[in-house]
Structure 1
Amino acid sequence: MKNLGKLSETEMEVMEVIWDLATPVTVKQLLDIFDSKDWKTSTVSTILKRLIDKGFLTKSMNGKVNFYEPALTWSEYKKYETQTFLHRLYNGKVKNFIAALVDDNELSQDDIAELKEWFVRKGGKK
């Protein structure tokens, strides 16, 4: 997967809406959805341009209307962010992440038992 830009809180909020809609969206639709924020057309357009520049959206035109759609799915984004997180903080190793949780007492015995059962179901060994 390509290297994506980092999402601001507002950009993430917009992307979540676009992912939920699962259909190309227009600036007008987003203005209606975010009506309570009192954003102007230029504000939404700027956010969308940044999302395109960061690799999250693509833009197409139908007549005089721009349509925006995700360049990746929500699932693909979660996978990307998880891998980025693991590489940045845990040398890319899930074991290092889990060890940090265990060492900091963030996992209860129930959590550990649940994880063991999950690994067994996924084909791991006890």
Structure 2
Amino acid sequence: MMLQSLTPSEEEIMQLIWNKGQIYFRELMDIYPEPKPHQNTVSTFLKILVDKDYLSTEKQGRIYLYTPTIGFDDYKKFVLSRFLENYFDNSGSALLQVLVDEKFVVAKDLEPFVDGKKTKASIRENTEEDNHIQDFIKEITGEKKSKKKEKKDKKKGKKKNK
């Protein structure tokens, strides 16, 4: 099934439903943050989310129980994939570079993903692109010698050779 993009309002409703698991309309209205939209507006969004296959309904008497058909993790992957495609030419390393440059990620955060340490996020087999990304991560997290120290070391080596 091909996921469709959500509007910010649709996404806000889905966030509430994902947090709850399943929800009745009245419950949704009760937990909706202020300023609450009109009931008809929320009802319309729920119908759209059902049409987009994000929700399923189960009629219980005169009311419906809404259940997510798309998990939050699947939606996050979809959004991230679109984000990478639209803003980073499908390059995870370009995104990572921005995250590092803007200090959203620091070298210590990347340690579980390098040096053969396996985490839930790095279970898949290494591909050529993964190796490129790992090399990049090692480069930015590894110990770096200052250029001055390297020059001093070279000069000392030359003096010892004379």
Q: TM-score, normalised by structure 2?
A: 0.61
* Partner Cα separation in structure 1 for residue 50 and residue 18 of structure 2: 14
Q: Who is 1:118 aligned against?
A: 112
* Structure 1 residue ranges (4+ consecutive) displaced by more than 6 angstroms after TM superposition: none
Pairing partner for 1:97 from 95, 98, 112: 95
CA shift digits 1:13-39 (9 cap, x unpaired): 2111111111x2121111222274344
Is the contact between residue 16 and residue 32 of structure 2 (CA under 8 Å) also seen in structure 1?
A: no
Identity rate of aligned residues, in percent? 31
Q: Who is 1:106 aligned against?
A: 102
The number of residues matched between the two structures is 120
* Partner Cα separation in structure 1 for residue 63 and residue 93 of structure 2: 48
Q: Secondary structure at the match of 1:37?
A: coil
* Partner Cα separation in structure 1 for residue 56 and residue 109 of structure 2: 40
Q: Who is 1:70 aligned against?
A: 68
Q: Who is 1:4 aligned against?
A: 3
Q: Secondary structure at the match of 1:3?
A: coil
CA separation of 1:40/1:66 partners in 2, compared to 1, >3 Å: closer, same or farther? same
* Partner Cα separation in structure 2 for residue 37 and residue 107 of structure 1: 34
CA shift digits 1:54-104 (9 cap, x unpaired): 2321122122221111111111111111112112222322123223445xx
In structure 1, runs of 5+ residues without a counterpart are none
In structure 2, runs of 5+ residues without a counterpart are 123-133, 139-162
Residue 113 of structure 1 deviates from its aligned partner by 4.3
Is the contact between residue 23 and residue 66 of structure 2 (CA under 8 Å) also seen in structure 1?
A: yes
Q: Who is 1:59 aligned against?
A: 57
Higher-Rg structure is: 2
